[in-house]
Amino acid sequence: MDIFDAIKNRRSVRRFEDRPVPEELIRKIVEAGQWAPSACNRQDWKFIIVDSNEVKERILKETAAYFIGKAPLLIFVLYSNRTDNLEYKDHLLSAAMAIQNMQLAAYSLGLGACCVNNLPIKSRLRKILNIPRHYDPVALLCMGFPKAVPGPLKRKEDLDGVLCKNCFSFQDDYPGVDIKLIVKRIIRFIYYRLPASLKKLLDPVARKFEKKFDK
Ligand SMILES: Cc1cc2nc3c(=O)[nH]c(=O)nc-3n(C[C@H](O)[C@H](O)[C@H](O)COP(=O)(O)O)c2cc1C
């Protein structure tokens, strides 16, 4: 498969066929993650596959990303947070490199994947998955054989809208104080910290606000 075709045609898949992903493909995909570049070549990622319904249930109680409940395969990507480069958070970038490798590998193997950050608050995810403090859960990749494959997505800007030379020479359209964003941040901060029982009660409201993507 041509690398540019894969980059341009891969889409986030959120609806999956009801059949498991063979172990051999899972191992190939995680291996693709392991071959990503990493800051100082630390290669300090860990991958947790969740196939237990009980663990899935505990995660689902804490998130409004309901589609993950129907994904045949969940892979949590973790990276050691013992970095000295806090300025650039190079551990998160290293994990992100692995995640995109895995998404492209999944695509090339006929699987669909979606990176998910709408997850339980890290402290609770740590408890559920028994993650030690020196590893950060960075994202979840849910995967499976796609039920519906969305078509290619247009870019919001053409290349010259995002590319410049020598200094930032774009029109700065920062709105100043962005009240909407501040409110959204506060709501998310509070929602993350609510007990699972209260989240359950708020389920119908949370479902309304969960961003809808083309299905
Ligand atoms: C860091 C990151 C976090 C994401 N979190 C979520 C999420 O919580 N829920 C979700 O449905 N999609 C999530 N996505 C998928 C994006 O919505 C998706 O990549 C975007 O809409 C562009 O679509 P495409 O991947 O098909 O090109 C996430 C993607 C990234 C890169």
Angle between helix 90-108 and helix 23-34 axes, rounded to 10 deg: 140
Q: Is residue 78 part of a domain?
A: yes
Position 193 in a domain: no
Residue 134 lies in a domain: yes
185 phi and psi angles, rounded to 5 deg? -65, -40
Mark the ranges of the chain whose per-residue pLDDT is less than 50: 215
**What is the predicted pLDDT for the residue at 77?**
98
pLDDT for res 175? 74
Number of neighbouring beta carbons within 10 Å of residue 150: 15
DSSP string, 99-145: HHHHHHHHHHTT-EEEEE---S-HHHHHHHHT--TTEEEEEEEEEES
Question: What per-residue confidence (pLDDT) applies to 172?
Answer: 81
How does DSSP classify residue 151?
P
* pLDDT, position 214: 56
In testing the pocket of ligand 1, which one of 101, 104, 115 has its CB within 8 Å of the most ligand atoms?
115
Q: What is the model's pTM?
A: 0.92
d(CA 135, CA 131): 7
Ligand 1 geometric centre to CA of 166 (Å) = 30
In a domain, 168, yes or no: yes
CATH code, 132:
3.40.109.10
Is 210 within the bounds of a domain? no
Q: How many structural domains are present in the chain?
A: 1
| Count of CB atoms situated within 10 Å of the CB of 213 | 12
The domain of 100 spans: 3-172
- Over the stretch 145-184, which tens digit does the pLDDT of each residue have? 999 888 889 999 999 999 999 999 998 878 788 899 999 9
